[in-house]
Amino acid sequence: MSSQKAVAENMLWGGRFTEGLDPLMVQYNESLPYDRIFWKQDILGSLAFARANSRGGILTEHEFSEIERGFKQIAEEWSTNSFVVKANDEDIHTANERRLGEIIGKDIAGKLHTGRSRNEQIATDMRLWLRDELRKLDAFLSDLIKVSIARAEQDIDYLMPGYTHLQKAQPVRWSHWLLSHAVAFASELGRLREVIKRVNKSPLGTGALAGNPFQIDREGMAKELGFDGITINSMNTVADRDFAMETMQWGSSFMLKISRWAEDLIIYSSLEFGFVRLADAYSTGSSLMPQKKNADSLELLRGKAGRAFGHVAGLMMTIKGLPTTYNKDLQESVEPLLDHIKTVGDSIQIATGVLSTLTVIPEKMFAALAPEMLATEFADYLVRKGVPFREGHHISGRVVALAEKNNVPMDTLTLEQLQGIDSRFGPDVRECLDYERAVELKDAIGGTSKRAVREQVEALKAIIRGESA
């Protein structure tokens, strides 16, 4: 018998085939090089399935005990990196079942798969693994938000320019900038927790597509594995990769947010701005220019976002034209999912490291403030004297124009010059040129005053705790 023919016969589906496979096809088809990461989940799912079949009379107590003993040894081999992969180990399911037969004998091991399909196995393994990984991401993301909060509380006195269109707009607190991104991250934390709920449904017991013929207790298996519930249609279950797609959609959304955060910090850390300085641990130098300190960590965060977007786009293109139900194309959901989780998880941790070690230079931030950023304060001053805002806006615009015409900063205009524009300007108009006052006046919920910033901090802490903000 040829080795290729023997390989085909030893695979879980091999009995139907009498000819060997093209060696390249064997390699092209196998998934063990990457789905071996699911070894623990595959064993847990197999034990739950075997236990349910034992309760249903398919397996005797002795047979279940032997299966349990065999898997205990297999788990030890995987955990100590001593599991020996063989040529017919097409995927993690095949490898584990083959090794089980070697340990406890093929007669008992062969009963394990009664009523079960690899279609439901891989869906179960992926959901179990993904659920636990997403819970880790929840912890990572919570830490990033906590660091943002801590820095906002610590640096609450620092003022900086706020920008629209990358043009200086109005003065704000550095803390307000920090929390603007923390709020965006908190939104993603909420979405992540919703994704986890939808991932945590058990496919086990749905068979290849039509269901299980042995009245297996699907809800009991789901409870044993820590699932929140079960999927409700077997055909949909084995074809469904929404849980992977939605995870990648969430990850892409988060990476979009972290990319914008990184872009701000890249700008703020440049010599032209100099608002912040990255720690050496998150920077690199130039091979040619010794004075350079490059924000490579932030640039990589920005770049990895494109990688994450590609994962979800690729999976959606794979799935969109598939007929019902399971098709081998779905194997292509595993590798991008694994890479996506690693990319997003690493990115969150890098961002947390960058922010926790960042040096803030408040003198540079304050020096970047410009009197023209207080033009709206003049309009608001007139509003408080009963002038309609549109009229006040027009008058304050004339103040800016006069400063530009005379080529002087707006705060050097005299009271006489201001009253020449509008007689309602009084001596107290000079108060409008106080940056701290301008910031503190923005005291409504969500504003940049100290009180409003501290209120946002408490709201974010509640979100992390899982309470409504």
Task: Identify whether 165 is a catalytic site residue.
Answer: yes
**Are the beta carbons of 399 and 410 closer than 8 angstroms?**
yes
Residue 57 CA to residue 217 CA, distance in Å, equals: 12
| Residue 305 structure tokens | 């976002």
Its sign, for the CA torsion 262, 263, 264, 270, is: positive
Dist. CA 402–CA 415, nearest whole Å? 13
Concerning whether 93 is annotated as a catalytic residue, the answer is: no
In DSSP terms, 172 is beta-bridged to 160
Q: How far apart are CA 259 and CA 298, in angstroms?
A: 8
Chain centroid to CA 146: how far?
16
Rg (CA), the chain: 31
Catalytic residue chosen out of the listed positions 3, 79, 270, 286: 286
Q: 119 Cβ partners below 8 Å, 6+ apart?
A: 206, 207, 208, 209, 238, 325, 326
- Burial class for 427, CB neighbours closer than 10 Å (0-12, 13-18, 19+): exposed
Set 2, 82, 165, 287: catalytic member: 165
DSSP 448: S
The residue written with tokens 């108009």 in the block is: 429
**Strand partners of residue 2:** none
Name the residues annotated as catalytic: 165, 286
